[in-house]
Amino acid sequence: VKTSIAGCSFVGRVAVGNRRGLLVPSTTTDPELQHIRNSIPDSVVVQRVEERLSALGNCVVANDYVALIHTDLDRETEDIIADVLGVEVFRQTIAGNALVGSYAVLTNQGGMVHPRTSVEDQEELAALLQVPLVAGTINRGSDVVGAGLVANDWVAFCGLDTTSTEVSVVESIFKIGNRATSVNDMRASLIDTLA
């Protein structure tokens, strides 16, 4: 869907959604809101959110079951996220960064987080989210993975500067295509072939 929000084209940084709902900032104009509602299925609830931290895509990362949110979001916004997206909501940071939507990408298959996220934090987050996580980069080493990667359960799109190694990690963690095997399975297979 080609659209703008508040006249801006960087819609991924200001909107957040899943299969149940889409949240947009209060600055979304009426024509933009109507265009979005007309362009997506009726089963997806589209709602404006009155929030001081209006870049919702930077402040929230969600899949169909769980959302991590910026620690300073309003309690009312937290309730709206839970209701519209139908998810459990947790206030969290990623590698000490409150902008969880900027430093993480999450699907129902897996997630990628800031490269400086400690192993302990990755394990804690993976247990909370109930999906496997990997710390990684996108766009030739950028740690702002949310700005350079968009993924769902079937496909992922990344920036043009993304290296083949980074693409490989994305395909593996998000189980893109028929690559449902893990990096360890691929490594073991390669070692068996060479042996």
Q: What is the pLDDT of residues 89-99, one digit of tens each?
A: 999 999 999 99
Question: What tokens were used for 174?
Answer: 């998000």
Predicted confidence at residue 180, as pLDDT, reads 45
Question: What tokens were used for 142?
Answer: 């950028």
* Alpha-carbon gap, residue 90 to 132, rounded angstroms: 17
Strand-pair category, 16-17 with 21-25: antiparallel
Kindly report the number of other CB atoms within 10 A of residue 118's CB atom: 11
Predicted confidence at residue 179, as pLDDT, reads 46
pTM: 0.87
* Alpha-carbon gap, residue 159 to 161, rounded angstroms: 6
- List, for the chain, all residue ranges whose pLDDT scores fall below the cut of 70: 178-195
* Alpha-carbon gap, residue 15 to 177, rounded angstroms: 26
Predicted confidence at residue 164, as pLDDT, reads 96
Strand-pair category, 133-135 with 111-113: parallel
With a pLDDT cut of 90, the percent of the chain lying above it is 90
CA dist list (Å): 60 to 18, 70, 166, 184: 11, 6, 23, 30
Pair 79, 122: CB distance under 8 Å: no
Pair 23, 47: CB distance under 8 Å: yes
